[in-house]
Structures are given as C-alpha cells and as structure tokens.
Structure 1
C-alpha cells in the first residue's frame, strides 16, 4: 500500500449542481486510487468567464489489497 498526493485542476461542468459536486469529485479521484482525504482549496471562474475551475488536493491509496 502506498499513499500518493495529488493537486488537480478540474472544470466544474455547468450542468452539475452543487449538491452533486461531491459524488462527481469522488469519481474523478477514484481514477487515481482510493481517496483517503481530499479538499477543495479553490473555486474560481475560468479566464473566459464561461466556466468554473476547482482546485482539489487529495491523498489517495494505491495498491491496497
């Protein structure tokens, strides 16, 4: 078992309401391993202003049996 840290920049889909943000983020994180801890550290508009960017910092478990 190994712990890995990640800092991701994700585009928050316009059609995704805030109450569905957590499950969506967990699905995104599961591609990296099993999420142990994670936090949204920043939400800001894209430079174009037509979308939102989310910065997520996470610790995931790799190689768990």
Structure 2
C-alpha cells in the first residue's frame, strides 16, 4: 500500500468527496486501493478539510 498523495490527487479527492462519490469509486478514478483512499479521508476529516456528507463514506452516489 502507498499512503503518499500529491497535492493534485488530494484536490481531486476533495472534489470527488464533495460530489458524493463513494470511496470505492474514488479509488477507481485515482487508481488507488480503497484502503488508501479511506486513510486519506480520515486524515482530511481530522484536519477539517472535508466534512460530513450524505451517505457518509459510501457517498450519495453509491
């Protein structure tokens, strides 16, 4: 697993998160393991960079 992310990927993640895309789908779009995406989500939530959303981790589009 690779838990390093570049700034562009983080920005893409934030946008997809806000759009309600599931962690599974985000992983597919970014070519990343869903577990890597989950860890990024936890980090972004703890830093208050992203917030709650309809559907939680599954997202509104799951």
Provide the TM-score with structure 2 as the length reference: 0.32
Provide the TM-score with structure 1 as the length reference: 0.31
Structure having the higher helix fraction is 2
Query: Which structure has more RCO (C-alpha within 8 Å, separation ≥ 6)?
Result: 1
